[in-house]
Amino acid sequence: MKDLLQITDLTSDDLALLLELATGFQDDPGSAGHLLAHRMVPMYFATPSTRTRLSTAAAVTRLGGTPVTVGPDELHVRHGEPIADTARVMGSYSAAIVIRTPADADVREAASAAPVPVVNALTDGHHPLQAVADLLTVQEHFGDLRGRRVAYVGGGGSVARSLMEAAALTGMHIAAATPLGYEPPDEAIAFAATEADRNGGCFVLTTDPVEAVRGADVVYTGGRPPAGGPKDDRARRRKALIPYRVDEHLMALAGGDAVFMHCLPARRGEEVAPGVIDGGRSLAFRQAANRLPAVQAVLYALLTGRLKGHR
């Protein structure tokens, strides 16, 4: 397996390996500190980033390499050079390429052209690095994943999709509550249902946040309208998601030991109440910290040929 573009590139064994490696890097961050000695990893970010940009830079440094961040205004992509050409050139200088851009097609094009591993650092369709960090956080807190109940409340975008797919590969029970018209894509629903059943879990899609959250071990939500898009679309989406705000009342319906998770950045008072994200049951900032060992594990596994994948 050369690249990580989406969670469905992984097998259950691949994901288990990534979590094992990430746990190891938590305990001993510098254990593979010579892997990228004298090598560079370019990080192409076409959209803003805090956690992904900084955690990836730190992970490359821990592996002994040099991270270099570039944006579209600094490359000829903005002026007409095909992204495939850019990726081929980047790959000739680099050990791997990390790319964040809205279009999944751009990431696939880069991966098909680059001679080195390409890692998706967030597209409109997928956020695999976030999902690995999410499951690492759940595993760290509860000690296991299989049979745990996770409820995602909100729009079915890239974070929800990758979380569903990753949880299904581990045998978790997943309930996703999304408004009509904002469901995850059909192929993500089919994958989550099939893989959850195969691995001893289950998947439920509903429009009712109460149904999703009742008895859950983990209550998860993400940000509301993305920065891009017409203002009227963002306003419509914001209105549709008002009933999906996670507050103290909704959290009270979850299990007694339930925790709250959020991919950040968070808008307090919009998708989550301040008392929830800043309260004692919140793991949101532990999730953010776990982005570092998660991306370190992904880079290490790809560069050492440890992942088998489906292709």
CATH number at residue 245: 3.40.50.1370
Same domain, 157 and 284: yes
Q: How far apart (Å, rounded) are the C-alpha atoms in residues 103 and 122?
A: 9
Asked if residue 229 is part of any domain, the answer here is yes
Same domain, 15 and 119: yes
Same domain, 104 and 195: no
**Series of mean pLDDT values for 10-residue runs along the chain (311 residues):** 97 98 97 97 96 98 98 85 95 98 97 98 97 98 96 96 98 97 96 97 98 98 67 82 96 96 96 98 98 98 94 51
Same domain, 134 and 278: yes
For 42, the token pair is 């370019």
Same domain, 16 and 144: no
Distances in Å between the Cα of 239 and the Cα atoms of 12, 228, 233, 242 are 37, 17, 10, 5
Asked if residue 34 is part of any domain, the answer here is yes
What φ, ψ does residue 43 adopt, rounded to 5°? -120, 110
Asked if residue 266 is part of any domain, the answer here is yes
Contact, 41 vs 65, CB < 8 A?
A: yes
Asked if residue 2 is part of any domain, the answer here is no
Q: For residue 20, how far is the Cα from the chain centroid?
A: 17
Asked if residue 311 is part of any domain, the answer here is no
What φ, ψ does residue 244 adopt, rounded to 5°? -105, 15
| Contact residues for 89 (Cβ-Cβ < 8 A; gap 6+) | none
Domain count, the chain: 2
pLDDT at 252: 97
Contact, 61 vs 52, CB < 8 A?
A: no
Same domain, 101 and 29: yes
pLDDT at 225: 58
pLDDT at 77: 82
Asked if residue 308 is part of any domain, the answer here is no
Same domain, 279 and 142: yes
Asked if residue 40 is part of any domain, the answer here is yes
Q: How far apart (Å, rounded) are the C-alpha atoms in residues 99 and 289?
A: 20
Write down the pTM of the prediction: 0.96
Give me the domain span that covers residue 79: 7-126+291-303
Give the DSSP per-residue string, 134-173: HHHHHHHHHS--TT-EEEEES--SHHHHHHHHHHHHTT-E
pLDDT at 224: 67
Same domain, 194 and 207: yes
Same domain, 58 and 34: yes
Q: Which residues pair with 176 in a beta bridge?
A: 152, 205
Q: How far apart (Å, rounded) are the C-alpha atoms in residues 296 and 26?
A: 10
Same domain, 102 and 172: no
Residue written as token pair 């793991």: 283
pLDDT at 279: 97
**Coil vs helix vs strand at 99:** strand
Asked if residue 309 is part of any domain, the answer here is no
Same domain, 273 and 136: yes
Same domain, 158 and 13: no
